Homo-oligomer: A and B are copies of this chain.
Amino acid sequence: MTDTRAPYRGEDLRFDYDRDAFLRRLQRLLPRADQVIDDPEGLRPYECDGLAAYRQLPVAVAIPETIEQAQAVLALCHEYRVPVTARGAGTSLSAGALPHPQGIVLSLARFNRILELDPLRRTARVQPGVRNLAVSEAARPHGLYYAPDPSSQIACSIGGNVAENAGGVHCLKYGLTVHNVLAATVLTPEGERIDIGSSALDAPGYDLMALYTGSEGMLGVIVEATVRLLPEPVHKEVLLAAFPSVEAGGHAVAGVIGAGIIPAGLEMMDGPAIRAAEDFVHAGYPTDAAAILIAELDGAPDEVTEEVTRLSDLLRQHGASEVRVAADAAEQARFWAGRKAAFPAVGRISPDYYCMDGTIPRHQLANVLTGIDRLSREYGLRVVNVFHAGDGNLHPLVLYDGNVPGEFERTEELGRRILELCVDAGGTVTGEHGVGLEKIDAMCHQFRPAELEQFHAVKAAFDEAGCLNPGKAVPTLHRCAEFGALHVHHGQLPHPELERF
């Protein structure tokens, strides 16, 4: 991408402190030369995350190696009122790990050990910098794996997964990160250590584990997490179905889930995505189809065999022109390869693309796809659709050329309109990528002022000084008013408090 955003605006985000004194103290806490970075060249890799359109250099990067060091860094930042953005692998797609201009990045890259793997309890206790896939790799000798599998699972880390409540292909059946994290050790903004959650069924007290999960680094810093491991399925089958229209594919998804079949994965690609992927990896996709569904079924062999039959029948009843069952493991891998390569494949047919992430109730799939098509024509920008159909999580890719003046702005506006479409259909502005800075204005469309105020109250209960990842995830009412999105919503008038601003 060639254009970059000026990510922060001034509101509520001024932090005044003696930068030199702070840096001297920081260097004393982390004595090794490679633990504090503050030269422009060294800071460069930290100026953005996976959403490279937003860039901002931090004041410094702190790289603690122990919980005690991380506690000391947080306590120091709290004392000086310095913004802190925790960073795992930096693969966020919503600028969640974008630094604050007056702040430091707290890198958890060296918290990279698997502390305990208990095959009997089926849990792994890991440091936050451990890569998602590394957990499954360590569990494999015991016939176990960690279910949430974001596309970035080779690179992304567990801490970031918890912060963003990451999803993935298998979340339809096995849940999001919040359903697979049992407990965590969290540092408060003051650097105090608390233990939350439980590996038992339920934990008494307020559900802080669910609250921290998906809180985008705004409430605390996770320094240890205990995750659930699942037994690897005994048997699996992968099906591919072709449809004459995306609407038919959308109805088929609603029909499958409605019939009580919960595949381990149920993914959809539209025509342009099919052809881009096929050109790229030769997955054997039907390039004349308007949409394909890829479904994975897993379990005991007999149940899977029965479900393959039921699912195939259902897909045909919903208009599939062709249903193929992968003949062997090699063909299964090929069916998935096309889906997994869809994003880079789209990168080959357009100078730039912008990946959206919205969620809608499943039965709205056909409706929303029609709406996206209409918007695409209105803005004169091509939209390619690749998504976790089973759980209604859309990833429309808007194709654009960053070198054409104004095209990125038009892309951003189209993206916003698509998210509004999702909200109006009863959905949300993010499924698994988080809000970060990218979708903070869309939050004004999603929530009423009373709800945003409750979010701010929660933030204040954990981080009164507002130092943790300031300006992300939850917009100020002021920002929403500026953005002009505080219109009547849910049939309610805006909150009278708003007049304060």
Contacts and interface: CB of A to CB of B under 8 A. Distances in A.
Given A254-B120, A361-B121, A206 B211 contact: yes
Interface in A240-279: 254, 258-260
Contact of A213 (B194, B207, B422): B207
Interface string A411-429: 0000000000010001111
Interface in A423-442: 426-432, 434-435, 439
Q: How many monomers of this protein are in the complex?
A: 2
Contacts of A446: 204-205
Contacts of A176: 201-202
B204 A215 contact: no
Given A195-B448, A198-B427, A207 B205 contact: no
B202 A430 contact: yes
B121 A363 contact: yes
A360 interface: yes
Contacts of A201: 167, 171, 176, 359, 391-393, 428, 431
Nearest to A460: B461
Given A213-B207, A450-B194, A455-B206, A360 B461 contact: no
Interface in A38-94: none
A165 interface: yes
Given A260-B234, A363-B120, A462-B457, A429 B202 contact: no
B198 A428 contact: yes
Nearest to A179: B179
A471 interface: no
Interface in A161-182: 165, 167, 171, 176, 178-179
Interface in A183-225: 188, 192-196, 198-208, 210-211, 213-215, 219
Interface string A304-331: 0111001000000000000000000000
A458 interface: yes
A207 B230 CA distance: 24
Nearest to A301: B306
A231 B207 contact: no
A434 B207 CA distance: 12
Interface in A447-501: 447-448, 450-452, 454-455, 457-462, 473-474, 490, 492
A470 to B, nearest CB: 15
- Among A258, A360, A451, the one with the most B-chain Cβ atoms within 10 Å of its Cβ is A451
Interface of A: 120-122, 165, 167, 171, 176, 178-179, 188, 192-196, 198-208, 210-211, 213-215, 219, 230-231, 234, 254, 258-260, 299-300, 302-303, 305-307, 310, 359-363, 391-393, 422, 426-432, 434-435, 439, 443, 446-448, 450-452, 454-455, 457-462, 473-474, 490, 492
17 contacts: A120-B254, A178-B210, A179-B179, A193-B492, A194-B454, A196-B451, A202-B359, A202-B393, A202-B430, A204-B439, A204-B443, A204-B446, A205-B435, A207-B214, A300-B303, A302-B303, A303-B303
8 nearest A-B residue pairs (beta carbon): A303-B303, A210-B210, A461-B461, A231-B260, A200-B359, A457-B461, A302-B306, A200-B427
Given A200-B422, A300-B303, 13 more contacts: A120-B254, A121-B362, A195-B490, A200-B360, A202-B393, A204-B428, A204-B430, A205-B446, A207-B215, A208-B455, A231-B259, A300-B306, A458-B458
